[in-house]
Amino acid sequence: MRAGYNAVIIKYVAEYLRKSRGESIEDLIKHKTLLEELCERRGWVYIAYEEIETGESLYARPVMQQLLRDISENMYDAVVCVDLDRLGRGTLGEWDEIKKVFQKTQTYIVTPSSLYNLSDDNDEFAVDLQTVFARREYKKITFGYSYNLPKTQEALVDRQRRKTTSAS
């Protein structure tokens, strides 16, 4: 993970914006403004991909699927996003699919604070760690996992979640 962009030549980028659970359209607009300012400061030519509806699965996110097809066609030098977990907090298998597209095309991932090259072992390791923690956070938000509770309360939360899940 490199904090600077100077050693890497980037000209064409995709901005990927995805609204997360609990976020408003205003949040998405703030993110878009932040990414556009970053691209303009760097002199990058960009196209925005906006995923308005949140989707648990990669397959429920048509804009992300289109972005991956476009990356596969070598349309971009980098993808710019607010945070790595915007690209994917689904299953680890889905993340692996996303990662392979970036590696095969040597497309960078840029956030406001970092640049990642998934073809570099150190960057790949850093991104994989962040992905594991993001996935854990996602499960906590989605399934209501509670941590640091006495064992009896954890069991109660788990039992309630199973009832809810099996009733669906």
- pLDDT bin (cut points 50, 70, 90) of residue 5 is low
Nearest C-alpha neighbor of 44 from the set 79, 2, 72 = 79
User: How would you classify the pairing of strands 12-18 and 78-80?
Assistant: parallel
**Range 132-161 average pLDDT:** 58
Alpha-carbon distance of 23 to 54, in angstroms, equals: 10
Give yes or no for residue 16 having a pLDDT over 80.
yes
Apex 98 CA angle, 85 and 106, nearest 5: 105
Adjacency order of strands within the sheet including 45-51:
45-51, 12-18, 78-80, 108-110, 115-116
Nearest to 2 by CA among 87, 90, 114, 149: 114
Residue 135: both structure tokens together = 């996935």
CB 37 within 8 A of CB 137: no
Which amino acid makes up residue 31?
A: H
| Cβ–Cβ < 8 Å for 77, 11 | yes
Q: 166 exposed, middle or buried (CB, 10 Å; 0-12, 13-18, 19+)? A: exposed
Residue 13: the pLDDT is 98
The owner of tokens 């994989």 is 128
Q: Give me 14's structure tokens.
A: 């995709």
pLDDT digit string, tens, across residues 25-59:
888 899 999 999 999 999 999 999 998 876 667 88
From the number of C-beta atoms within 10 Å of its C-beta (0-12, 13-18, 19+), residue 97 rates as: middle
Work out the average pLDDT over 66-76.
Answer: 98
Distance between CA atoms of 63 and 128, rounded to whole angstroms? Answer: 23
Smallest CA-to-CA distance from 49 within 24, 76, 26 is with: 76
